Structure 1
Amino acid sequence: MKELLATYYKGFAQKANWEQTLDEDFVFIMNDGEPLLGKQAYIEMYRNFCKSYQTMRVIQTIIEGDNAFVLANYDWILPNGTIQNGNVAEIWKAENGLLKELKIYFHK
Structure 2
Amino acid sequence: MNGKEYLILTTRHKDMLFGGGVHLFWCPDSSGYSAILQRAGLYTKKEAYEIAGEEDIPIHISHFGHDQDFFETGESFIQMPVLYSISEDSKKLITEWRKREAAE
| TM-score in same-fold range (> 0.5) | no
Give the structure with the larger helix fraction. Answer: 2
Give the structure with the larger strand fraction. Answer: 1
Structure ranking higher on relative contact order (CA contacts 8 Å, 6+ apart): 2
TM-score scaled by length of structure 1: 0.27
TM-score scaled by length of structure 2: 0.28
